Amino acid sequence: MSTPLDIVVPVREGAANEPLRYALRSWAAHLPHRRVWIVGYRPRWVANVEHIPTRQTGTKYENTTLAVRLACENDEISETFLLANDDMFVMHPVTEMPVLHRGPVRKVEAYYASRANGKYLRGLRETRDLLVELGHPDPISYELHVPMPVQRAGMLTALGQARHLDVVHKRTLYGNLAGLGGEQIRDVKILHRAPRGYGPDSPFLSTMPDSFAAGHVGQFIRRAFPKPCRYETTGRR
């Protein structure tokens, strides 16, 4: 088995961030890794992690891009790391994190175009256009809500190519430029409160604030990881 990687997770400012608590519990239980690096805001209850503080003065897209850039520039972080969000849960043990993708960007674009026309969709299209210019005529989307293996130098190169974009789909840009390939799955983010779209065999899950706090999926995740882990201050449940 290969050497465990560091986990890098950008964290927004404010709030107790209960999803992060359960994400950390899931990683401690099921995802082999060396260290956890929080980039941005570290809640007071978090323990035994590395921390890179940032000033979060931009949009959420700009803030996360800054966080990823700082992680990639930090030589203390493993050369390849797992890029995660604070609401990504690993529900079953894995020996190492696989490379996963969402399929062709054109199909993901069609999905979002039928529902909204905001900054996220604009960023998708601009990232796709950049990839086409760089020789990837039918790029793959890596915008899944699962941890993703990232090589620091490769991601820095990708971010350099997209420095003119304010909403860059970092995972997709990096994954295509690095030629990651991988296995296609549907996205695991549960948007609703109803008990559908996942089950006991789901290897990965992600949530929205409402579905975590008030939905069946939030209850499901909390029941799966009832005990504090090494990344929480002593005695806090």
Q: What is the full per-residue pLDDT of the chain (237 aa) written as tens digits?
A: 478 999 999 999 987 899 999 999 999 999 999 999 999 999 999 999 999 999 999 999 999 999 999 999 999 999 999 999 999 999 999 999 999 999 999 999 999 998 877 999 999 999 999 999 999 999 999 999 999 999 999 999 999 999 999 999 999 999 999 999 999 999 999 999 999 999 999 999 999 999 999 999 999 999 999 999 999 997 544
Q: What is the pLDDT of residue 235?
A: 53
Q: What is the pLDDT of residue 237?
A: 44
d(CA 141, CA 9): 20
Q: Give the CB-side neighbour count of residue 75, counting CA atoms within 13 A.
A: 0
Nearest residue to 209 (alpha-carbon basis) of 186, 188, 191, 187: 191
Q: Between 170-177 and 60-73, two packed helices, what is the crossing angle to 10 degrees?
A: 40
Q: What is the pLDDT of residue 2?
A: 73
Length of the chain: 237
Q: What is the pLDDT of residue 14?
A: 82
Nearest residue to 87 (alpha-carbon basis) of 226, 205, 214, 167: 205
Q: What is the pLDDT of residue 236?
A: 47
- Cβ neighbors of 75 (< 8 A, separation 6 or more) are none
Considering the domain 5-91+101-224 in this protein, what is its CATH number?
3.90.550
